[in-house]
Chain A
Amino acid sequence: MPRIERQAAVVWEGNVARGSGSLTALSTGAFAELPFSLPSRLAVTQGKTSPEELLAAAHGGCLSMSLAGELTRAGFPPERLDVTVNIVMDEVPDQGHLVVGSEVDVTARVPGIDDADFAAAVEAADAGCSFSALIRASASVTVRAHLEAS
């Protein structure tokens, strides 16, 4: 099995409440010098990304690829999958801020598939998405999916 490495780099200056950071995708250059800060992480985003938003994007990428794979294996390659992921972080008594859930919503256009085969593919995709399994070890993961008329 190949081992693939992906690296991101961060520079942070100052204390946590008033300092700020900058994020770059070192391996790919897909994004660079994205600003982030604590106030924009916990309250209004002010156009800044956050660890939890990056987790949402990671989960969306993982689940959509996993579902495309499962649907294709079942003989129904998808025309289009729209996936929205909402990561919820909450303050838990005695534990501070924790990621408590990832809510995944899928709208799919898949020619020829019936509801039962679609539901089975969604379940297999969630089980096969390594990121779902990671998050599920410490938080809830819900996947809601529905078929769109093609």
Chain B
Amino acid sequence: MAERRADVTWSGDLLSGSGTIDSVGSGAFGPLDVTWPARSEDASGGKTSPEELVAAAHATCFSMAFAGGLAKAGHAPERLSTSATVTFVPGTGITKIALSVRGVVPGMAAAAFREAAEAAKVGCPVSQALAAVPEITLDAQLEG
């Protein structure tokens, strides 16, 4: 079992107040500022948001599951470049996550690559935790 922790402080009301992700258990990042305007408008002002952190969680989880699946099939990747784009509609929530991956995988056929990517999309723990998101898409392509 693995437990991972984050500490957040908020001061004031929602619209004019502000928050800080003070620290995380690993110490890997923080403090990071968060506000409602930065979350709910196109211009983030350089501030992260819950949805950006979900994108980060999904991209990291998918990449590991995909690397694991490829290695199990005998083709450990040289390099996987993954992006996750989360669409957030204020008042509704997360409506879509778009995963995109480009892989350098010596000796791998394109069809098998896409199949392994699809399995990682379904099987990674964050995908399972976020299975209630209405739409999760995947674009997987081999490079080089």
Contacts and interface: CB of A to CB of B under 8 A. Distances in A.
Task: Report if A and B associate in a common complex.
Answer: yes
Interface of A: 1-17, 19, 21, 23, 25-31, 34-36, 38, 40-43, 45-65, 67-69, 71-72, 77-91, 96-99, 130-131, 133-135, 137-139
A68 B2 contact: no
B121 to A, nearest CB: 14
B132 A3 contact: no
Contacts of A7: 52, 55, 83-86
Contact of B54 (A3, A50, A58, A65): A58
Given A6-B88, A52-B57, A69-B14, A11 B27 contact: no
Contact of A85 (B8, B40, B46, B79): B8
Central interface residue in B4, B57, B87, by most chain A CB within 10 Å: B4
A4 B88 contact: yes
Contact of A89 (B2, B45, B59, B132): B2
Interface in B97-113: none
B60 A21 contact: yes
Contacts of B131: 137-138
A57 B28 contact: no
B24 A58 contact: no
Contacts of A69: 13-14, 36
Interface in B36-83: 36, 38-42, 44-68, 70-71, 76-83
A77 B11 CA distance: 9
B91 to A, nearest CB: 6
A10 B126 CA distance: 15
19 contacts: A7-B83, A8-B84, A9-B83, A11-B80, A11-B82, A25-B52, A31-B29, A49-B26, A54-B56, A58-B54, A60-B6, A61-B19, A61-B21, A64-B10, A71-B13, A81-B10, A96-B125, A99-B129, A138-B132
B93 A88 contact: no
B59 A23 contact: yes
A27 to B, nearest CB: 6
Contacts of A5: 85-88
B44 A78 contact: no
B88 A53 contact: no
B106 to A, nearest CB: 12
Contact of B58 (A51, A81, A83, A89): A51
Contact of A16 (B32, B71, B81): B71
Given A8-B55, A28-B48, A80 B11 contact: yes
A55 B126 contact: yes
